[in-house]
């Protein structure tokens, strides 16, 4: 049975997809759980927020995009890199995972472009070097 904290995260769509599916199925199967979710939602609509809810909604534990980029490049300090890994793998933050995926794809594309530039540069200088020799 999901905890109130997990239900809050479910409403924020802040859980890993597998866990979202499990909670969604539990909500379909258990009317009492659906009522609890309605109460949480009503409390939110009334403006009553817990410290944990504010913490999650403001993403206070999420690394910045710059920090995620440094993680992709492997230039973060060991402790910081361990925290980012924990945040992504254990906490399962969907927003940070999406951001990390985007940064990784951009890095891979940039590396591919760099290789193309390097080949063109090499090809453009090969003919010149032969003529000068």
One pLDDT digit (tens) per residue for the chain, 133 residues: 899 889 988 988 888 889 999 999 999 999 999 999 999 989 887 777 777 777 777 788 899 999 999 999 999 999 999 999 999 998 888 899 999 999 999 998 887 777 777 777 777 766 665 555 5
The CB-side HSE value for 1 (13 A sphere, CA atoms) comes to 8
| Separation of alpha carbons 70 and 64, rounded Å | 10
Domains and CATH numbers, the chain: 1-60 (no CATH), 61-133 (1.10.10)
The secondary element (H helix, E strand) that includes residue 121 is helix 94-132
pTM above 0.85, yes or no: no
Angle at 14 between CA 8 and CA 15, to 5 degrees: 95
């Amino acid at each position: 049975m999901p905890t109130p904290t997990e239900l809050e995260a479910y409403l924020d769509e802040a859980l890993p997809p597998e866990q979202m599916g499990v909670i969604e199925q539990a909500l379909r199967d258990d009317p009492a759980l659906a009522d609890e979710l309605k109460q949480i939602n009503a409390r939110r609509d009334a403006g009553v927020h817990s410290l944990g809810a504010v913490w999650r909604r403001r993403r206070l534990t999420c690394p910045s995009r710059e920090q995620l980029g440094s993680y992709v490049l492997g230039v973060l300090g060991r402790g910081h890199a361990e925290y980012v890994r924990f945040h992504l793998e254990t906490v399962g933050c969907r927003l940070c995972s999406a951001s990390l995926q985007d940064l990784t794809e951009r890095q891979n594309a940039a590396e591919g472009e760099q290789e193309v530039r390097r080949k063109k540069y090499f090809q453009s200088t090969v003919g010149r070097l032969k003529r000068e020799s």
